[in-house]
Amino acid sequence: MKGVIQLEDGQFFEGEASTEWTTAIEGEVVFFTGMTGYQEVLTDPSYRGQIVVFTYPLIGNYGVSAASAESKEPQVKGAVMWKCSEDDSHYMADQSLAAYMEGWNIPYLTNVDTRELTKAIRTKGTCRASMANKKKAPAPVDAAGQVYEVSRNEKQVYGDGDTHLVLVDFGLKQSILDELLAGGAKVTIVPFSDMEDIHEIDPDGVVLSNGPGDPKDVTGYLEQIKKVLDTYPSFGICYGHQVICLAYGADTKKLPFGHRGANHPVKDKKTNHVFITSQNHNYVVTPGSLESTPLEARMIHVNDGSVEGIVHPTKPIFSAQFHPEANPGPKDAVWMIEEFFALVEKKGVTAYV
């Protein structure tokens, strides 16, 4: 069955639709450059409401397993691929990718020239798109506030370790929670809208999670967030990194087409080491805006120089724009989780520098 994805500037790309669609599927179209990790992408709350173009030509060859999901259900609006495997070849696989997508009613297109589509997005920048059985221009839709759709509504407690951490939920990935539990922590997940409750919990440390969309969507909570940061050892991941910077007076901006993939090189200015990271975000911290804050840029993106991590010189606060929990890989940055545990054990008496 014929299917078409059309960008807001009128460009369109034909392929085969997974089913007949009675209404068009609309969302922000982005591309992911990883060869693996498609299930993590589909279930990552940071992709909420987006149409994801997979640049690697064959997607789904190792199937889908419950253990690899980053949330309880797919978060994307749709997906575009050259080929979507109807088979699986991994011992942990529960089903094929095609069956998984169809079971969750997630629309997808195949036999699309994803190379040309990606070039169009890179040229014009991230934009709205529609998927339908025939050409249809996407309607202008405000995508603000997606973070409110994916954050939990109430506190949840996991584990029973001696170290008690609060994980602030902006749309957290399951693998972040898994890494903290594997480190021996008791973890209390707190919705970002309940930041004031953290002082009653009085944890040993706080992790601010990833999440979708514009970090300025939570501007109304920045004062509460800063009080938490000033009180407890804190580590921000992706959206959490951006929120920390906003709370201290820095600014953020939207990239032309974002960073998405498992092959992004980052340089640690302290050690001069370069390592490869997994990333998924549209927004970055504006480098010049850090000059009016106490924060310092410790890590930068090798390709475009964007801020990839900050540190507070006198408080136990640091962050990563990328995903150090390494799902989907690589594992180059897992050391940041270990550094946070070490910082918490020191009771925050020294800064992460």
What positions carry a catalytic annotation?
238, 323, 325
Which of 349, 348, 322 has the alpha carbon at shortest distance from 335? 322
Q: Is the CB of residue 85 less than 8 Å from the CB of residue 59? A: yes
Q: What are phi and psi of 295, to 5 degrees?
A: -80, 150
Reduced to 3 states (helix: H, G, I; strand: E, B; else coil), residue 135 is coil
- DSSP label at residue 183: T
Max Cα distance, the chain (Å): 63
Residue with token string 């991590």: 309
The letter for the amino acid at 270 is K
Q: What are phi and psi of 196, to 5 degrees?
A: -65, -25
Q: Is the CB of residue 215 less than 8 Å from the CB of residue 225? A: no
Q: CA 45, CA 42: separation in Å to the nearest integer?
A: 8
Residue 53 structure tokens: 């173009």
Helix-helix angle 239-247:222-229, to 10 degrees: 90
- Strands 273-285, 252-268: pairing is antiparallel
Q: Is the CB of residue 341 less than 8 Å from the CB of residue 348? A: no
For 333-348, give the DSSP string.
TTHHHHHHHHHHHTTT
